[in-house]
Amino acid sequence: MGFWQYLALIGVGGVTGLFSGLLGIGGGTIVVPALVILFGLSQYSAQGTSLAVIVPMALVGVSSYAAHKHVNLGAALAIVAGAIVTTRYGATLAQSLPQDALRYIFALFLIVIAVQLLPSKAGLPQQAGFIALAVAALLVRALIAKIM
């Protein structure tokens, strides 16, 4: 990569850090699409790179929230306990799927989350997110069956 690409990556990092602190997102919603669309990385490399930036970014963000007593340490430790056990399996599964299937799963996941967050503001029934999740699951299952 050349100078300008690294400069653009720093810009992606700046946007990611801003939204991470502002919305509490892990960066994958910005980093993965940016690396795939703007920099041509494979879905696998984009996801691996996104995971690599989470820890330092999260440490900076959590320090600010902790200073204002907005970190539930018990909940965080419980989530970490579950994540430590399952992350390796998820990463292994991701790398066993065709890249196109993985990209569709990622996109559907983002759509489901967006739909789930909308009901309180958009007047949609509370079940809209669960319906979207069910439809997404069926689409992913059909897609994987078609690709494999």
Can you give 47-100 as a three-state secondary structure string?
HHHHHHHHHHHHHHHHHHHHHCCCCCHHHHHHHHHHHHHHHHHHHHHHHHCCHH
Q: Which two tokens stand for residue 30?
A: 């910005």
Helix axis angle, 43-67 to 73-96, nearest 10°? 180
Give the tens place of pLDDT for each residue, 21-46: 888 886 788 899 999 999 999 999 99
% of the chain at pLDDT higher than 70: 80
Q: Does the pLDDT at position 122 exceed 90?
A: no
Give pLDDT, residue 106: 86
Query: Is 127 or 46 the better-scoring residue by pLDDT?
Result: 46
Q: Which two tokens stand for residue 118?
A: 């909308």
- pTM, two decimals, is 0.75
Q: Does the pLDDT at position 127 exceed 60?
A: yes
Mean pLDDT of the chain: 84
Q: Which two tokens stand for residue 100?
A: 């196109």
Give pLDDT, residue 135: 72
